[in-house]
Amino acid sequence: MRYAIISDLHANRQAFRAVLSDIESAGADQILCLGDIVGYGPSPAEVLALAYRHVHHFVLGNHDAVIARTLDAGCFNDGARASIEWTARQLDAKARRFFADLPLVLQGENFRCVHGEFADPPAFNYLIADVDALASWATAPKEKVLFCGHTHVPGLFVIGESGCPHQLPPQDFCLEAGKRYIVNTGSVGQPRDGGTRASWVLFDSVTGGVFFRKTPFDVDGYRADLAAAGLPAPAGFLDVAEKRRLPPLREQLDFRPLRRAADAPKPEYRIERLEAALRRAHRSARRWRLTGFLALLLVMLAAAVVTWTAPRALRPPPPPPSVTYAALEPLAESVAAVAERNLLEAPDGAGAVSAANRLRRWSVTVANPKTQRVEIREESAGDGADGKYGKNGRTGTSGTDKAEKAAGTDRIPGAANAAGGGTVFVLESGTAKPMAVLSATIPAEKGARFSASAQFRTDGMGGGWFELALLQRLPDGTERLLENKGVKADRSGRWATVRFTLGKTARLAQAGQLRLVLRGEFTGRVLARRCALVRCE
């Protein structure tokens, strides 16, 4: 089993998305998170949703414990306490229940994981010096390797037959006979090791290989999100980005571990055993396979009995395999009705968007104007119903296209004859940095539900990710992600529709302003059209 072990995401969506891409390229089988999903960063809800979707096992971190209300925020200094209290206001009761159910220890085969140190996990002590390592090894005498986070600095402790621990800088290694190890994975969202890259570890439990990984991410985008949320920039990698000297690690630590009397009993805490979870999953899968096979066999037998015993004269003839034009009319009416109920207005503009050629009703953000651009084009008839393009974005074969080219117009062929034609956003990026197209805000009252959709072409997209998202700006100025859906890369040259509808249980908890966002970090080109936001009845 190849485990990607991550820690201290701290609501940094840019860093976490970059690490998820790196994990996928490394071929990890499972992701283990050692806590502190939230805190400090400006995107707690989005990062928690991503972690819930991608991470297989968690342990509880001290910032997470404050959200779960199992740890008092008074353990933090003033800046960290203000940040975690702001974070708590961005999350709901479902998030609190999620954190409250997390274990403090993950027990794997020949390895163990916690957030802080192993001697007293509920206290969230820091594992910094040799004496801390000795206490942790004494608590977990059977495991070959122990993994932790909390300090935000990747590192390594080794102890052999001499019994004398050695602290080493991060370096790839294989487990050796007669030696035991403690590995600090560092931090994904707030590194404090003097660099600006996210840290995590890849562990192969079969070969015993441990590999330290460093992943670059969009620091400027993170800084912009902090400013938009009105949060102060935490010390650490942002100081490095500004070429400032960092203080020693102990001066950067802003959490005071719990202190207990020497004779005080340690509280009970939950340990999740990975091998037991895997066995339960295998047993459950076998039961479901057997149940499904038996159910299918019963259905087939029942169908055979009914077919054999049913009178021939009573069997209705199969319907004719034809579709009339009249059968398509209700669909055309429904498409027109959706277009009529669309709350979004078309962008008022044409050509490349710039400071001198701004949009009205929509807005554009790019991380690097030198390598990224957004252009507004108009759809036109000229291609077939499939809307397939050539390599340069045009077929160049139809008479309409040739006439438009001769007239000097710059139009997108392909689907103006379909319902809902209009403008096309063309997003081009030479570097995988964030860029987005945002609609004007739409007022929404408490309890309302909405459906969002758009069509995309990604045949020019070289790599990265892109998504359709719906955001809500709350009265206090913060912005909350309501729903998002990824756009799959497709080189066929066809338009693909992406849509989602807020569930009945996801009605707006409070009034606010909504806006539709087309955003991503990619190289190449993505085209988008027919953006719609419709109120559900």
Tokens standing for residue 41: 């960063």
| Highest averaged pLDDT of the listed ranges 147-151, 278-282, 326-330 | 147-151
Is 291 exposed, middle or buried (CB count within 10 Å of its CB: 0-12, 13-18, 19+)? exposed
With CA atoms as reference, report the closest residue to 452 among 470, 438, 467, 436: 470
Share of the chain above pLDDT 90, in %: 48
265 DSSP assignment: P
3-state secondary structure of 134: helix
Q: Taking the mean position of all CA atoms in its chain, how far away is CA 130? A: 36
Residue 463 phi, psi dihedral angles, 5° rounding = 175, 165
Residue 328 CA to residue 323 CA, distance in Å, equals 8
pLDDT value of residue 367: 87
Residue 497 CA to residue 531 CA, distance in Å, equals 10
Q: For residue range 5-23, what is the model confidence (pLDDT) as tens digits?
A: 999 999 999 999 999 999 9
pLDDT value of residue 67: 95
Tokens standing for residue 316: 């209705």
With CA atoms as reference, report the closest residue to 394 among 529, 531, 530, 527: 527
pLDDT value of residue 54: 95
Residue 435 CA to residue 460 CA, distance in Å, equals 16
The residues spanned by each domain of the chain are: 2-279, 351-535
pLDDT band at 359 (very low <50, low <70, confident <90, very high): confident
The yes-or-no verdict on residue 36 having pLDDT over 90 is yes
Q: For residue range 80-134, what is the model confidence (pLDDT) as tens digits?
A: 899 999 999 999 999 999 999 999 999 998 999 999 999 999 999 999 988 889 9
**How many other CB atoms are found less than 10 A from the CB of residue 475?**
9
SS3 per-residue string spanning 187-205: CCCCCCCCCCEEEEEEEEC
pLDDT value of residue 12: 96
Residue 126 CA to residue 149 CA, distance in Å, equals 9
Q: For residue range 143-172, what is the model confidence (pLDDT) as tens digits?
A: 999 999 999 999 999 999 888 999 999 999
pLDDT band at 521 (very low <50, low <70, confident <90, very high): very high
Region of 96 on the Ramachandran plot (φ > 0 left; ψ -120 to 50 alpha; else beta): alpha
Helix axes 219-229, 13-26, angle to 10 degrees: 150
Its CATH class, for the domain covering 351-535, is mainly beta
Residue 401 CA to residue 375 CA, distance in Å, equals 19
Range scoring the smallest mean pLDDT among 166-170, 313-317, 327-331, 442-446? 327-331
Range scoring the smallest mean pLDDT among 173-177, 218-222, 349-353? 349-353
Its CATH class, for the domain covering 2-279, is alpha beta
Region of 390 on the Ramachandran plot (φ > 0 left; ψ -120 to 50 alpha; else beta): beta
pLDDT band at 407 (very low <50, low <70, confident <90, very high): very low
Q: What Å distances lie between residue 2 and 27, 31, 79, 202, 204, CA to CA?
A: 8, 9, 37, 7, 4
Is 392 exposed, middle or buried (CB count within 10 Å of its CB: 0-12, 13-18, 19+)? exposed
244 DSSP assignment: P
Residue 162 CA to residue 159 CA, distance in Å, equals 7
Q: What Å distances lie between residue 429 and 389, 504, 528, CA to CA?
A: 19, 37, 14
pLDDT value of residue 275: 64
CA atoms within 13 A on the CB side of 478: 19
344 DSSP assignment: P
| Highest averaged pLDDT of the listed ranges 283-292, 303-312, 493-502 | 493-502
Residue 387 phi, psi dihedral angles, 5° rounding = 65, 35
pLDDT band at 409 (very low <50, low <70, confident <90, very high): very low
